[in-house]
Structure 1
Amino acid sequence: MTVEVGSKAPEFTLKNQDGQEVSLSDFRGKQAVLLVFYPFAFSGICTGELCSARDELPSFQNDDVQLLGVSVDTTWSLKAWATQENYQFPLLSDFWPHGAVAESYGVFSADLGFAFRGTFLIDSEGIVRFAEHNGPGDARDQQGWKDAIEELKASA
């Protein structure tokens, strides 16, 4: 079951593309987190979505919010992809245990072995304020992310 708006976000610690551990609790009391699950690095829709986020990065990553991408890819694959596409935000590896964090957010497909397109805006206190779940072939409308971030800022 997908994590719902108003619920406490599941805690996690994953390694980023540089092999450094990143935890959701690292941002507690400091910034909101825009957590973006995607199926695989280097795939067409995933590249399009994250390149759009890269091109409009100040809308998704700034003093108020941190963008974190999550997939079941290895850290080495994520490093190559981040370098190729010049991503300036952490890409987190949910490789092992395979898809455990995606599963805790309700967006992992055990049958297919990857995360669906789940997006969660988590406030600085760890509460989910926005959640969406798209299938693997359904690109997301990032205007919804911007609207959710603006709504969170307005309510602060």
Structure 2
Amino acid sequence: MTEVQQAPAFVLAPQVGQLAPDFELLNQYGEPVRLTDFQGRNVVVVFFPFAFSGICTGELCEIRDNIAAFKDSNATVLAISVDSKFAQRAYAEHEQFGFDLLADFWPHGAVARNYGVFDEASGMALRGTFIIDASGLVQYVVINPRGQARDFAEYRRALSALAGQ
């Protein structure tokens, strides 16, 4: 179940069935968060361009308001942007996000590059979502172009399919 709407031509995003690239980033509290620490759980990695921007806030608030759909699927949400941990913390507190916001700040956008969602021209991540199963394999990929929000119903369908495996 993959739907890649638009991906940068110069970097390939991990595809369904591939092992997700591991990473370690600081969350909004300055704590290290490593993808492989979630082995045994599903993980929804949500790249977003910038904290406090309109579409990003709408998308992340929709996740916040529907977090039960993720918890019911044994899924942890990790939201990543190129903002600093300080901006991530202010954003998380302002919007009352109960999930980790990770800072892909330095080296600038390195994790976004590894996932094929870094926009070199603007220095930001595209809106990419990767659902990774408990064994670390990518089960769902969607990458939206600038200015286009993700469809929350797609998350529900992908998580439901993952729960049915």
Q: Bin the TM-score by the shorter chain.
A: over 0.9
After TM superposition, the score normalised by the length of structure 1 is 0.96
1:38-53 to structure 2, matched below 5 A, reads 38-53=48-63
The CA distance in 2 between the partners of 1:69 and 1:88, in whole Å, is: 11
Q: Partner residue of 2:164?
A: 154
1:135-150 to structure 2, matched below 5 A, reads 135-150=145-160
Matched, 1:75 2:82: no
Q: Partner residue of 1:59?
A: 69
Distance 1:61 1:41, change over 3 A: farther
Runs of 4+, deviation exceeding 6 Å: none
1:1-156 to structure 2, matched below 5 A, reads 1-29=12-40, 31-62=41-72, 64-155=74-165
Which residue identity does 2:31 align to in structure 1? Q
Aligned residues of 2:73 and 2:160 also touching (Cα < 8 A): no
Q: Percent identity?
A: 47
After TM superposition, the score normalised by the length of structure 2 is 0.91
Aligned residues of 1:37 and 1:117 also touching (Cα < 8 A): yes
The CA distance in 2 between the partners of 1:32 and 1:90, in whole Å, is: 15
Which residue identity does 1:141 align to in structure 2? D
In structure 1, runs of 5+ residues without a counterpart are: none
Distance 1:79 1:146, change over 3 A: same
SS in 2 for 1:130: strand
The CA distance in 2 between the partners of 1:80 and 1:130, in whole Å, is: 30
Distance 1:2 1:15, change over 3 A: same
Which residue identity does 1:44 align to in structure 2? G
In structure 2, runs of 5+ residues without a counterpart are: 1-11
| Superposition RMSD in Å | 0.9
SS in 2 for 1:68: strand
After superposition, the C-alpha distances for 1:75-126 in whole angstroms (9 at most, x for unaligned) are: 0000000000000000000000100000000000111100000000000111
Aligned residues of 2:73 and 2:163 also touching (Cα < 8 A): no
Following TM superposition, by how much is the alpha carbon of 1:129 offset from its aligned partner in structure 2, in angstroms? 0.1
Following TM superposition, by how much is the alpha carbon of 1:63 offset from its aligned partner in structure 2, in angstroms? 6.6
Following TM superposition, by how much is the alpha carbon of 1:61 offset from its aligned partner in structure 2, in angstroms? 3.4
